[in-house]
Amino acid sequence: MSGKSMNARQIQAAYKLAAERYAEFGVDVEAALRRLAKIPVSLNCWQGDDVGGFENIGAQFGSGIAVTGSYPGKARTPDELRADADKALSLIPGKHRFNLHAFYAETGGKKVERDELEPAHFKNWIAWAKANKMGLDFNPTYFSHPKLVDGMSLAHPDKSIRQFWIDHGIVCRKIGAAMGKALGTPCVTNVWVPDGYKDTPVDRKGPRERLANSLDAIFSKPISPKYNLDAVEPKLFGIGSESYVVGSHEFYLGYAIKNKKLICLDAGHFHPTESISDKISSMMQWVPELLLHVSRGVRWDSDHVVILSDELEAIAQELVRGGYLGRTHIGLDFFDASINRVAAWTIGTRSMIKALLLALVEPISTLKKLEADGDLTGRLALLEETKTLPHGAVWDYYCLKAGVPDGCGWMKEVKNYEQAVLSKRA
Ligand code: RNT
Ligand code: ZN
């Protein structure tokens, strides 16, 4: 990355002018930054090792999910993954969370099946999160496993296969609750299953009935929302499930409303022209809380690193304008194996935070008033003018205050880390 970092004096001077400019629009930038500092983003652990997990080192059961790219230096052990995440977190302003999958368990070299996992297998993760004063989120892992038979898990026609995966879901909620209890902040445990058909099914109903029953079995025991929150994640299609996904949007929206679960909206799980930003205010009428998997679909659900796109801005605007931040858990979901993975985490998370910042410094009350007064010309004009307000100066100042590199500084640290650590990995 070219260009030098600014010095602190320059950043402060630019910020002062920027804050004055925003004040002319009735925006209190200091207040916005105070709010921003309280919004955690849950970093997806799986960007650090290409959704590999640590249970079958060497073995490949690639079904259910697909990653492309072979950039050198991916984390091979839990310690490496934690070290890489520490590096990324040191370059991201604010206090955040970390989102784990069940197959990142540490079983000390012993084979422990997924239906036998326990909180103890995550004690290093919990200790690490505690040391970082961070909350954890969790996911049962329904892919990359020999018992994902013919692309089906919780919806499989064979009862014993279903039971294995039900038991996996049950132990994962317990692990989530243990994480929430230990860290003093509820863990969001999110269920996503890849179940579906490559080609057009004849029976669309049966798998959905089975999935509903399996979910009921997983969720049958109540767990205090102080410790664990259950979420369900729909999808339109996947690789190998192009024609039919059992857990579709309508399926899970209904399930979440009926059972008071969180619905997870993954930005890459809808038709390419469909955006999740417009869904938020509709679904928040009916579900208690929302989980976001902020991702970036490119042509298909390809899980590209999140960037400051129009859609990302629209998502953040909806959360802020609608007053939904208190009921929304913001998580990231991407896995690009073709670039430096520490940089991928840093870019994606910083972009998410930038989008939140942009949304928080909008002149919302003025915009709402224009709209309420029927001045739609004024609304359009002001929306366009706000796009060139000096938010970059506010962002730099936010990074400075948080003690992380502004604009161009962080990439140098990633390069140093790559040379000193990542390049040494085989
Ligand atoms: C897959 C889902 C799911 C996964 C992660 C690894 O389509 O988006 O959330 O990406 O659980
Ligand atoms: Zn997702």
87 pLDDT above the threshold of 60: yes
Q: What is the mean pLDDT of residues 363-373?
A: 98
63 pLDDT above the threshold of 80: no
256 pLDDT above the threshold of 60: yes
State pLDDT tens for residues 196-247.
999 999 999 999 999 999 999 999 999 999 999 999 999 999 989 999 999 9
Q: What is the mean pLDDT of residues 146-163?
A: 97
Residue 407 has a pLDDT of 79
pLDDT tier for residue 15 given thresholds of 50, 70 and 90: very high
State pLDDT tens for residues 261-276.
999 999 999 999 999 9
The pTM assigned to this predicted structure is: 0.97
Site to substitute for ligand 1 among 192, 301, 336, most atoms within 8 A of C-beta: 192
> Catalytic: which of 266, 289, 313, 362?
266
Q: Enumerate residues lining ligand 1, CB below 6 A.
A: 46, 51, 139, 192, 233, 235, 238, 266, 293, 301, 333
Ligand 1: residue whose CA is nearest its atom 5: 333
Record: fold of 39-354 = TIM Barrel (3.20.20)
Per the structure block, which two tokens stand in for 411?
A: 């990439």
84 contacts 75 by C-beta, under 8 angstroms: yes
CA distances to 82, 230, 248 from 284, rounded to whole Å, are 34, 16, 18
Question: What percentage of the chain reaches a pLDDT higher than 90?
Answer: 93
> Catalytic: which of 233, 289, 362, 418?
233
Residue 340 has a pLDDT of 98
What is the 414 CA–ligand 1 centroid distance (Å)?
A: 26
What residues does 395 pair with on adjacent strands?
A: none
What's the whole-number average pLDDT of the chain? 96
Nearest atom, ligand 1, residue 301 CA: 7
Residue 1 has a pLDDT of 44
59 pLDDT above the threshold of 60: no
- The boundaries of every CATH 3.20.20.150 domain in the chain are 39-354
